[in-house]
Each structure stands twice: as C-alpha cells, then as structure tokens.
A and B are shown apart, each in its own frame.
With several copies, the nearest count.
Chain A
Amino acid sequence: MERKKLISDDGRRLDGRRLDEIRPIKFKIGVLKNADGSAYMELGKTKVIVGVFGPRELHPKHLAVPDKCIIQARYHMAPFSVKERKPPAPTRREIELSKVIREALEPAIFVELFPRTTIEIYAEVIQADGSTRCAAISAASLALADAGIPMRDLVASIAVAKVDGHLVLDVMDEEDKYGSSDMPVAMMPSKNVITLLQMDGMLTYEEFKKSLELAKKGCMEVYMKQKEALESYFKNIKEEK
C-alpha cells in the first residue's frame, strides 16, 4: 500500500516529528458569541470549530426522554477544508462520524441532570489534515465546559497509525492515506476509560496493545493542553470581571 517513504531512516516523519510526537496544538475557548459554549482547535494543520447549545428544550417534544438529556452531535466538513471540494451535504462518512463522536462524548456528560432536554454539539472542520474526528472530540469537550455543562472528565482524543511498519502518534493526512492502519481513540484520562475506539487496517494483537499504549500517552498530552487552555480561559474571564 505504502507508495512513499513516510518515515526517514533516522525515524522522523514527513513533518520532522518523532514517531510518538504529537503536532503543535492550539486551543481557543469561547470563540463564538451565539453558541452557549465554543472552542477552536488546531492540531497541526487540522482546524476545527465546535459550538454547543443546551441544555435546552427538544423539538419535537415527543422525542424528549423523561430521565435524561438527549445528546445530538454533527460532524461536518467545509467544502474548502480538503483538496478536492467536498459538496456541503453530509456524506455517509460524516453521518457515521457524527454518531461515534456523540458516543465518545456522552459518557462524560451528566445526562441525568437535565431530563427532557437536549444538548447539541456542532463540529465544523474548516481544514482537514488527518485526525479530524479526534480534534472535533477534543475541542467539543472544551466547548461543553465553556457552556457550563457538568462533566465527569474532559474527553481527549488522538489517533495512532501504522506507517512503514512503525506505530506513529497523531496521524496526519498523508500517513492516514498511505499508512497501513488508522486507529482513533478517545479517553477520559482521569477515569482511565476509552469512549471512542475505531480501527481499520492490519494489526497484530501485540501491535494493537502498543497502539493503545501510544494512544493513551497521546490522549494524556492532549488532556494537559485542554486543562491548560481551560485554566487560562477561566482565569481571564475572572479577571475581566
């Protein structure tokens, strides 16, 4: 499958990273005025904006559930986020990712606290350079926190790939395309549980275990950045008051 040398002889990746190195991360919280909570994330060149509404009333009302809040999530890519223009209507891929993103975030939210309501999470990918679902999840956690929604933990997400026979952390586009496996993972790091796990490609059991370890390390790094971003955000808000 590999058509291109993705790992140099001295173990560096196309963008110069080491195998277990994540790309530069930039978070910005509270970037939108109308959304109840919002966050922007750059994971290398992958750029995502997430807005959150809720808890609010659900329409039509008969869809409401008496003992918990319904989580809705939409993952969506801008037509200009990729090399070949993507028509704006949701693809099958976007529909599936919307589902797994929702299921990755829901375990962190105290849904029992808001019966008969809904929380809506909208993730807009404005530039895609691999691991967009991971960025959407990591940013959505911060947007949820910004909206003041009580959570068990933040959800941090990262992907691991097998590329030219090596396991690499934080997969970028070319590694996804020409690598031999891709495995996005999301965790609640302080709870030590996994809320998203997908994989395709070929891994032995040993490789899988190592990938999972690597993902754990990566999620923890994302988690640290998330917490930093939140702290400085809430500190600023306090100071502004």
Chain B
Amino acid sequence: MTISPIPSLKKKQIYELAESGKRIDGRGLIDMRKIEINTNILDKAEGSASVKLGDTYVIAGVKFEISEPFPDIPDEGILSVTAEFLPLASPLFEAGPPDENAIELARVVDRALRGGKAINTKKLCLIPGKKVWTVWVDIFVFDHCGNLIDASALASLCALLTAKIPKTEVIGNEVKILDEYEPLPIESLPIIVTIAKIGDKLLVDPSLEEEEVMDCRISIAFVEGKDKQEHICAIQKGGRGSFSYEEILRAVEIAKVKSQEIRKIIPCGGK
C-alpha cells in the first residue's frame, strides 16, 4: 500500500477547519459517521455481519473448526481474527498476503475481543487438552473510506453475536457434531473508537481524507465489565505523530462516551 499524495491545499483546509471545530464533510469534531449494521447476511457462514460506517464497508464472517488447544491454556477455545484489505476496496490496495496495516487491524480487533472477554472461551473447550473449538473471524474490507478499525471491530462483534455453534456430544476421545445449534457464549460487547489528532484537535471516526493528513490516531476499546462499569480493554496508538498526556486522557473520555452510544445500536438486543 502506497500513500496517495493529498494536495497540500486539502491538508491545509482540513487543518484550518479543525481549528475552528469543523470538518470537511460537515460533521462536528466528535460526531461519528452514519452506522448501518446488517447481521446474518450469509447462510454458509456460521455468523456474519456487514457494517457501513459512512462509505467504509466491511463484512465479517464467523466459521468454526475443531482443533487442538494451545498447550498453556488447554481448557479454552481459540479465537482467531484475520483481515483482508481487498484490492477492490481502494485504488491503493494490492492483492497479496495481508500487509502490516491489515495485520495490525486484525490484531487490534482480536485484542479488544480478548481483553474485553467478549467470548467465554472456557465454554468452547470440548475435551480439555485435546479438542476445543477455534472461532474464526474473517474480516473483509470492501470499501476503504477511513477508520477501518472501528468498522471491523463492530462487524466482528455483530457477526459473533449472530453466530450459531453446533452442539456436540463427547464420547471418549471422539467429538460428535450434532445438527442442533446454540448461540456463542458472548459475555460482553467491546467497542473500539478511533480518534485522530489533527493539529491540536481530536476528531472522532476519521474519514479517509482526514486519515491521510492526520498527525496520528488512537484507538480505544471500551467494554462494560461484570461490575457494570466501563473498562478500557485495548488501546493502540497509530501513525507517525505523538500525543500529549492531556490529549490521550481526553481521547479516552471521548471514546468512553462514543463506545456507549455505539453499543446501543447493536442489533439482537445487544445480544
């Protein structure tokens, strides 16, 4: 992926607008773009969801596979997140194995789900030390118009929420997969909110044009803990610039509010 050259005129414009609290697409600094979630859009995937975040368009699909557990956690199922930046999603993407941006995205989504204990992986153990469910979440980016992380995290969570996992019967060392299904043991809803720094302003949910000129960004995942409190469950700073302490604390506060707003619009009654 190469960086598209943005005319410095446009860069100047975005910075000046931000300075006066405005954005090139008319949003306020802490406004998200419109979010459209569709769940269960595919039959062959065990769970699926598409998310449109403005024009950013992402599909996540869930598949299951029986595999061996990791030796250090023999009694837990495995969550495995991948992301593909499809070449049709941007004139700058190329076909090929995931680059550092796709890998970073998948790993940040993975950490938010894992850190936020979204899935009770203990319930995905079939035979301790021998057989567990691996939950695959594959993220496909179809249109890259900025802020892929938030859109992908949301699509992944919604796909997991709609996923149906087959019931099983364990006889000795054999696992029999039944033709009955149940929902995944989802126990919390981690939401990532990404905030860009432009000059000394913080902009929520940066568009592609804003990402291309921003100083840097910070992605913060919040989850509601069992104590009904909001907890930070993942953070990732990205980009070439730096943040002051105050900016980071401010970003965390904004993300807390925004993540709660987003969580409310998740379909399936939040489950």
Check A-B contact in the complex, CB < 8 A.
Answer: yes
For A89, give its contact among B45, B97, B244 (CB under 8 Å).
B97
The docked-state distance in angstroms from the alpha carbon of A181 to that of B239 is: 23
Chain A residues whose C-beta falls within 8 Å of the C-beta of B237 in the assembled complex: 100, 103, 194-198
List B51-77 residues whose CB lies under 8 Å from chain A.
55, 57, 59, 61-63, 65, 72
Chain A residues whose C-beta falls within 8 Å of the C-beta of B112 in the assembled complex: 200
What is the distance, in angstroms, from B199's C-beta to the closest C-beta of chain A? 14
The reply to whether B235 and A183 contact each other, CB–CB distance below 8 Å, is yes
The reply to whether B42 and A47 contact each other, CB–CB distance below 8 Å, is yes
For A81, give its contact among B44, B88, B97, B233 (CB under 8 Å).
B44
Encode B211-244 as 1/0 by CB contact (under 8 A) with A: 0000010100001010001111111111111111
How extensive is the interface on chain A, given as a class? 35 or more
The number of chain B residues with a CB under 8 A from chain A is: 71
List A141-196 residues whose CB lies under 8 Å from chain B.
177, 181, 183, 188, 191-196
The docked-state distance in angstroms from the alpha carbon of A208 to that of B237 is: 15
The docked-state distance in angstroms from the alpha carbon of A29 to that of B159 is: 25
Tell yes or no: A126 within 8 A of B by CB: yes
The docked-state distance in angstroms from the alpha carbon of A185 to that of B39 is: 34
For B232, give its contact among A76, A82, A208 (CB under 8 Å).
A208
Encode A53-95 as 1/0 by CB contact (under 8 A) with B: 1001000000100000000001010111111010011001101
Tell yes or no: B82 within 8 A of A by CB: yes
Tell yes or no: A236 within 8 A of B by CB: no
Chain A residues whose C-beta falls within 8 Å of the C-beta of B104 in the assembled complex: 96, 99-100
Contact residues of A: prevailing secondary structure? mixed
Question: Can you list 26 A-B pairs, Cβ within 8 angstroms, ordered by A?
Answer: A32-B88, A33-B57, A33-B143, A51-B87, A53-B91, A80-B44, A80-B45, A81-B44, A85-B63, A88-B84, A92-B103, A98-B100, A99-B104, A107-B241, A120-B87, A181-B115, A192-B245, A193-B244, A194-B248, A200-B112, A200-B114, A202-B115, A205-B252, A205-B253, A212-B248, A212-B249
Encode A100-142 as 1/0 by CB contact (under 8 A) with B: 1001001100000000000010101011110000000000000
The docked-state distance in angstroms from the alpha carbon of A32 to that of B225 is: 37
The docked-state distance in angstroms from the alpha carbon of A204 to that of B223 is: 10
Contact A194 to B243, CB < 8 A, known contacts A32-B143, A205-B252? yes
The docked-state distance in angstroms from the alpha carbon of A34 to that of B230 is: 36
Contact A103 to B238, CB < 8 A, known contacts A85-B136, A197-B218, A201-B233? yes
Tell yes or no: B259 within 8 A of A by CB: no
The docked-state distance in angstroms from the alpha carbon of A183 to that of B229 is: 20
For A198, give its contact among B106, B236, B256 (CB under 8 Å).
B236
